[in-house]
Amino acid sequence: MDFVVVIICGAVFGSFLNMLIYRLPREQSILSPPSRCPKCGSFLKWYMNIPILSYIFLGGKCFYCKETIPIRYLIVEILEVMIFLVCYLDWGFSLEFLLHAWFFTASLGIFFTDLETLLIPDSFSLLSLIPAIGIAALRGNLVESLAVAAGVFLLFYGVSIITNGGMGGGDTKYSASMSCFLGVFHSLFGLFTAFLLGSVIGIIFRILGIIKRGEPIPFGPFLVLGCLFSYGFGDYFIRLYLSLF
């Protein structure tokens, strides 16, 4: 029964997150109007808004105008269910569960918002920072985590000034959040991973012509991937690195 509750909650939050991903960068209210098709403007009935199931039953198309619904809606809802399940398996129904699910949900929103719009709204940055601070407090190294977050923020801010906006403000704020979430060594490994992924994929995409020369590349998704990789595998690679000395 607990798993059913977790799955339903994850799907519902995934649907809500999809709404935030669409509305926040467009500076639209999250309270009104009700969900509607961005193509034809038709308001959606409740049964057209059931997470995951509605997308499948509608065949990924608007019921009214048959416009294709971006696959992102289905992906986000499925990933959010996975986030809730993994957090529940690790911590059960606890404060740790709440804070980790909260942080990963905000990170998922940042991933897709930046990927689609090249923007990371301040709302998402704040939503990622609050649980990160809570997790650092539970970990017992809040002051240390806030210090490294501040240091990373200043570093990214300096890079942004030097490159004349080459590093976005949203990237700067999320880098601070993920650093607070991960702690000192894991944050450094996560940032290294993000820059490595961004560089390699950026070069490959330009060689293949997917991205043209001078065209901006969203860095937020790489920060999120670096954060997740460091969270899951950071201990192993840090120990491996330290064993060399």
Rounded Cα–Cα distance for residues 227 and 218 (Å): 16
Does the pLDDT value for residue 163 go beyond 80?
no
Q: Which of 182, 174, 175, 80 lies closest to 127, judged by CA? A: 174
At residue 44, the pLDDT reads: 86
At residue 86, the pLDDT reads: 96
Q: Which long-range contacts (CB under 8 A, 24 or more apart) does 86-91 make?
A: 88/2, 88/3, 88/6
Q: For residue 61, give the 3-state DSSP assignment.
A: strand
Please give the average per-residue pLDDT across 81-95, as a whole number: 96
Please give the average per-residue pLDDT across 98-113, as a whole number: 98
* In the chain, domain spans: 1-93, 95-245
Does the pLDDT value for residue 78 go beyond 90?
yes
CB within 8 A of 68, min separation 6: which ones? 60, 61, 62
At residue 244, the pLDDT reads: 79
In sequence order, the β-bridge partners of residue 68 are 61
Please give the average per-residue pLDDT across 2-23, as a whole number: 95
Does the pLDDT value for residue 72 go beyond 80?
yes
Please give the average per-residue pLDDT across 185-212, as a whole number: 91
Rounded Cα–Cα distance for residues 113 and 107 (Å): 10
Name the more confident of 221 and 30. Answer: 221
At residue 161, the pLDDT reads: 85
Rounded Cα–Cα distance for residues 25 and 18 (Å): 12
Please give the average per-residue pLDDT across 25-35, as a whole number: 87
Rounded Cα–Cα distance for residues 73 and 166 (Å): 29
Does the pLDDT value for residue 242 go beyond 80?
no
What is the overall mean pLDDT for the chain? Answer: 92
* Structure confidence by residue, pLDDT tens digits, 135-152: 999 999 999 999 999 999
CB 197 within 8 A of CB 225: yes
Does the pLDDT value for residue 1 go beyond 80?
no
Q: Confidence class of residue 190 from pLDDT cuts 50, 70 and 90? A: very high
Buried b (16+ CB within 10 A) or exposed e, 57-85: ebeeebbeeeeebbeebbebbbbbbebbe
CB within 8 A of 90, min separation 6: which ones? 96, 97, 100
Does the pLDDT value for residue 167 go beyond 80?
no
Whether the ω angle into residue 38 lies within 30 degrees of 0, i.e. cis, is no
Please tell me the pTM assigned to this model: 0.94
At residue 41, the pLDDT reads: 83
